[in-house]
Amino acid sequence: MTTKNAFYAQSGGVTAVINASACGLIETARQHGDKIGKVYAGRNGIIGALTEDLIDTSLESDEDIAALRYTPSGAFGSCRYKLKSFEENRAEYERLIAVFKAHNIGYFFYNGGGDSQDTTHKLSQLSQSLGHDLRCIGIPKTVDNDLPLTDNCPGFGSVAKYVAVSIREAGFDVASMARTSTKVFVLEVMGRHAGWIAAAGGLAAEREGESPHIILFPEITFDQEKFLAKVESTVKKHGFCCIVVSEGVRNPDGTFLAEAGTRDAFGHAQLGGVAPVVADMIKTAHGYKYHWAVADYLQRAARHIASKTDVDQAYAMGKAAVELALDGKTAVMPTIVRTSNNPYQWEIGVGELKDVANIEQMLPPHYISEDGFGITAECEEYLRPLIMGEDSPPYVNGLPQYVRLKNLPVEKILNEPFDL
Amino acid sequence: MTTKNAFYAQSGGVTAVINASACGLIETARQHGDKIGKVYAGRNGIIGALTEDLIDTSLESDEDIAALRYTPSGAFGSCRYKLKSFEENRAEYERLIAVFKAHNIGYFFYNGGGDSQDTTHKLSQLSQSLGHDLRCIGIPKTVDNDLPLTDNCPGFGSVAKYVAVSIREAGFDVASMARTSTKVFVLEVMGRHAGWIAAAGGLAAEREGESPHIILFPEITFDQEKFLAKVESTVKKHGFCCIVVSEGVRNPDGTFLAEAGTRDAFGHAQLGGVAPVVADMIKTAHGYKYHWAVADYLQRAARHIASKTDVDQAYAMGKAAVELALDGKTAVMPTIVRTSNNPYQWEIGVGELKDVANIEQMLPPHYISEDGFGITAECEEYLRPLIMGEDSPPYVNGLPQYVRLKNLPVEKILNEPFDL
Q: Dump pLDDT digits (tens) for A239-254.
A: 999 999 999 999 999 9
Same domain, A215 and A98: no
Q: Does B42 map to a domain?
A: yes
Is the pLDDT assigned to residue A181 strictly greater than 60? yes
Read off the pLDDT of each residue in A291-295 and give the average, rounded to a whole number. Answer: 97
Same domain, B137 and B8: yes
Q: Which of A301, A320, A335 is the last residue of a domain?
A: A301
Read off the pLDDT of each residue in A91-105 and give the average, rounded to a whole number. Answer: 95
**Which residues in chain B have Cβ-Cβ distances shorter than 8 Å to A383?**
none
Same domain, B295 and B328: no
Q: Which of A46, A35, A34 is nearest to A7 (CA)?
A: A46
Same domain, B128 and B253: no
pLDDT at A266: 46
Is the pLDDT assigned to residue B92 strictly greater than 70? yes
Same domain, B230 and B294: yes
The binding site of B for substrate comprises 142-144, 190-192, 247, 297-300
Q: Does A385 map to a domain?
A: no
Residues B93-139: pLDDT tens digits?
A: 999 999 999 999 999 999 999 989 999 999 999 999 888 999 999 99
Size of interface A-B (CB pairs under 8 A): 246
Is the pLDDT assigned to residue B271 strictly greater than 60? no
CA distance, residue A1 to nearest chain B CA (Å): 35
Read off the pLDDT of each residue in A129-152 and give the average, rounded to a whole number. Answer: 95
Q: Which of B173, B179, B305 sits opposite A304 (nearest CB)?
A: B305
pLDDT at A272: 64
The rounded distance, in Å, linking the Cα atoms of B398 and A378 is 17
With CB atoms and an 8 Å threshold, state whether B295 touches A297. Answer: no
Residues B300-340: pLDDT tens digits?
A: 999 999 999 999 999 999 999 999 999 999 999 999 999 99
pLDDT at A270: 44
Q: Considering chain B, what is the average pLDDT of its residues?
A: 94
Q: Which of B301, B323, B348 is the last residue of a domain?
A: B301
With CB atoms and an 8 Å threshold, state whether B402 touches A168. Answer: yes
A262-276, A334-348, B20-34, B225-239, range with the lowest pLDDT: A262-276
CATH code where residue B160 lies: 3.40.50.460
Read off the pLDDT of each residue in A306-311 and give the average, rounded to a whole number. Answer: 98
Is the pLDDT assigned to residue A51 strictly greater than 90? yes
Q: Which of B63, B60, B67, B80 is nearest to B11 (CA)?
A: B80
**Which residues in chain B have Cβ-Cβ distances shorter than 8 Å to A400?**
165, 168-169
Residues near B107 by beta carbon (within 8 Å), at least 6 away in sequence? B4, B5, B6, B7, B36, B134, B135, B137, B322, B325
Provide the residue range defining the domain that includes B269: 156-301
| Higher per-residue confidence, B10 vs A417 | B10
CATH code where residue B318 lies: 3.40.50.450
Same domain, B259 and B346: no
Q: Which of B357, B314, B300, B295 is nearest to B332 (CA)?
A: B357
The binding site of B for diphosphate comprises 13
Question: What's the domain count of chain B?
Answer: 2
Same domain, B21 and B130: yes
Residues near B412 by beta carbon (within 8 Å), at least 6 away in sequence? B52
Q: Residue A283 class from Cβ within 10 Å (0-12 exposed, 13-18 middle, 19+ buried)?
A: middle
Asked if residue B260 lies in contact with residue A260, where contact means CB atoms within 8 angstroms, the answer is no
Same domain, A295 and A184: yes
Is the pLDDT assigned to residue A166 strictly greater than 70? yes
With CB atoms and an 8 Å threshold, state whether B305 touches A301. Answer: no
Same domain, A295 and A167: yes
Q: Which of B301, B325, B345 is the last residue of a domain?
A: B301
Rounded to 5°, the CA angle A177-A175-A297 comes to 95
CA dihedral of residues B15, B17, B22, B24 (deg, nearest 10): -160
Is the pLDDT assigned to residue B283 strictly greater than 60? yes
B148: confidence class by pLDDT, cuts 50, 70, 90: very high
Q: Which of A14, A293, A387 sits opposite B297 (nearest CB)?
A: A293
A138: confidence class by pLDDT, cuts 50, 70, 90: very high
Is the pLDDT assigned to residue B34 strictly greater than 50? yes
Read off the pLDDT of each residue in B151-160 and give the average, rounded to a whole number. Answer: 98
For A417, other C-beta atoms within 10 Å of its C-beta total 7
The rounded distance, in Å, linking the Cα atoms of B338 and B390 is 20
Is the pLDDT assigned to residue A164 strictly greater than 60? yes
Read off the pLDDT of each residue in A299-308 and give the average, rounded to a whole number. Answer: 98
A154: preceding bond cis by omega (within 30 degrees): no
Same domain, B189 and B259: yes
**Which residues in chain A have Cβ-Cβ distances shorter than 8 Å to B295?**
293, 298
Q: Does A371 map to a domain?
A: no
Prediction ipTM score: 0.97
Which percentage of chain A shows pLDDT scores above 70? 96
A144 belongs to the catalytic site: yes
| Higher per-residue confidence, A10 vs A82 | A10
With CB atoms and an 8 Å threshold, state whether B271 touches A276. Answer: yes
A72-81, A410-419, B63-72, B394-403, range with the lowest pLDDT: A410-419
Same domain, B271 and B394: no
Q: Does A377 map to a domain?
A: no
Q: Which of A227, A190, A195, A24 is nearest to A111 (CA)?
A: A24
The rounded distance, in Å, linking the Cα atoms of A142 and A148 is 11
β-bridge mates for residue A7, sequence order: A40, A108
Choice among A118, A144, A146, A391 that is catalytic: A144
Q: Does A61 map to a domain?
A: yes
Same domain, A44 and A137: yes
